[in-house]
Copies of this chain bind each other. A is one copy, B any other.
């Protein structure tokens, strides 16, 4: 359960674009330089983001990338989903071991955990927008901890099932 390199770098590139004003744009090489990754790699990431409609590209001499929407309207849940190659559901189709289908198809206790977990993460991510990431660390920190505090208040002892 961790954030992949592609998710991390892709998100960083978006944050760079979020810093710009509406008319500005950044070229691939400039983004790559600022993030300390190769131009080729940045190109791949931006292409993914472009295909998903999160950024807009302009070709030619004065070209570059900019956000397709205001940063305040781009939620991290969407970003992660796009960068994660969208292998969201269909979990029980993979990881089947040697067998053809999941051994736990009938009454599987793990499936809901995997799925529920995913929902929780997406939910938390949907509360944070790119615009917030542009601000100081503190603001984001506050938002996420607000969520967390609520969680711990929920079930102090554990489930009752």
A residues adjacent to B (C-beta < 8 A): 1-5, 7-9, 11-12, 15, 34-38, 76, 80, 84, 87, 91, 95-99, 103-104, 107-114, 116-121, 123-125, 127-129, 132-148, 150-152, 154-155, 158-159, 161
CA distance A104 to B134 in the complex (A): 11
CA distance A7 to B117 in the complex (A): 13
B residues near A35, Cβ cutoff 8 Å: 97, 103
Q: What is the total number of copies of this protein in its complex?
A: 2
Known contacts A35-B103, A109-B15, A137-B111; A151 and B123 CB within 8 A of each other: yes
B137 near A107: Cβ-Cβ < 8 Å: yes
B121 near A36: Cβ-Cβ < 8 Å: no
Shortest beta-carbon distance, A156 to chain B, in Å? Answer: 10
B120 near A147: Cβ-Cβ < 8 Å: yes
A123 near B148: Cβ-Cβ < 8 Å: yes
B1 near A2: Cβ-Cβ < 8 Å: yes
